[in-house]
Homo-oligomer: A and B are copies of this chain.
Amino acid sequence: MKSAVISIGNEILLGKTVNTNLAFLADGLAALGAPVVYNVVVNDDADDITRALDYCSSRYDIVITTGGLGPTHDDITKATIAKYFGKELVFQPDLWEYVQSLFAKRGVKAPEINRNQALVPQDFSVLENAMGTAPGLYYHHNGLNYFACAGVPIEMRYVFETHITEIIKKQFPKLHSLTQHTIHTFGISESALAERLDTSALPKGVEFAWLPQTGRVDLRLYGMDQEAVYQGAQDIIRQIPGYVWGLDEDTPAKVLGTLLSQRGLSISLAESCTGGLVAKMLSDEPGASDYLLGGVVSYHNDIKSSVLGVSEETLATDGAVSEQTVRQMVLGVKDLMDSDCAISVSGIAGPSGGSAEKPVGTVWFGFAYRDEVWAQKYILTGSRESIRHKAAEVAIITMIKRLISEDR
């Protein structure tokens, strides 16, 4: 079972949009057992689209196009595929009503140009799109399963997850899906892991891959035999006790959220260089209100003093990026919000602001858990964005490790 993805859109070939849709679909189709083996990116050009359709539809079982389903004149995918498959475009009044209802919700009349969102090539099925006005389309003919999705990632993802996966499962009930397990580590480098891990004893048919992330390493095991992949993952985890903080879809925020929730603990945050990123990550999780009381972004030193109670003497003597400051910040926010746990972060994210003593990337972290308070310093590398991202993850993963340590 082989899939191909045709990505349609000038913006990708102009270099202005990174083709994340391909990564999403490739991941999803591999998981279904219908891996993508070919992807082509073409402009919104009827000849290019037709050539790509022609190439793919004779070679692959599943072909998905993304992009070009919008209402404007440069969106020509629908007309092109209708012509390619020899179908008329038919106006579907219920789709036009749906489009109008979407605009009505926003208190706006649907512009007439959107009428073409209700055109569907004859014999094509409509795949409802709750995230936008352009429905997905499906056409099954001579063993080919052809799908069209909008290019807006949130719409494409919705149509894929809601409809396309179901259709593929129904069309190919015997598909063996690939089993994957991802092991998330922290605090050990890729080469140190490589020296420590023995992957030679992994069960046959289980593949092993290194996936370095920003500031930490993920390990992936995959194969067709579900049980063997699971056993392989357990074997790897046993070899590196203390470095594993999560599995599979886990994110630092999800793992910490689950731990706090299960234990009935609350948390508050005091952030300087991360500027709200730790709070943002924790509140990405639905249900975060169970444990996240809130936080203070004390970007300016005045706020560290006036809101969090960091002493002006500490700021003058030790500086904003110091052990004393993060200790006072974490106690300040824990007290202010009356939480069980608290985290503080203060560092130099760059690109400027570094010194010989405290180079860019120097980040101090403060932690409080019940009556316990401690601080840690890291020197993080990379761009401003990557230093901030790493700092937020270090903050969350360190708290995870503290909470997990009670179970040992």
B110 engages A191 (CB within 8 Å) = yes
Give the interface residue-count category, chain A.
Answer: 35 or more
What B residues does A350 contact at CB under 8 A? 286
A297 engages B275 (CB within 8 Å) = no
What B residues does A13 contact at CB under 8 A? 26, 35-39
Considering only residues 248-289 of chain A, those with a C-beta below 8 Å from chain B are 269, 271, 273-280, 282-284, 286, 288-289
Nearest CB of chain B from residue A37's CB, rounded to whole Å: 6
B383 engages A154 (CB within 8 Å) = yes
- Copies of this chain in the oligomer: 2
Q: Does A143 contact B (CB under 8 A)?
A: no
Which of B22, B209, B271 contacts A74, CB < 8 Å?
A: B209
Q: Does A40 contact B (CB under 8 A)?
A: yes
Nearest CB of chain B from residue A149's CB, rounded to whole Å: 14
Nearest CB of chain B from residue A199's CB, rounded to whole Å: 9
Considering only residues 334-379 of chain A, those with a C-beta below 8 Å from chain B are 336-338, 350-352, 379
Known A15-B24, A26-B13, A195-B112; contact A294-B283, beta-carbon cutoff 8 A: no
Q: Does A12 contact B (CB under 8 A)?
A: yes
Nearest CB of chain B from residue A328's CB, rounded to whole Å: 15
Known A214-B154, A293-B299, A352-B286; contact A14-B180, beta-carbon cutoff 8 A: yes
Q: Does A222 contact B (CB under 8 A)?
A: yes
- Bound-state Cα–Cα, A307 to B269, Å: 14
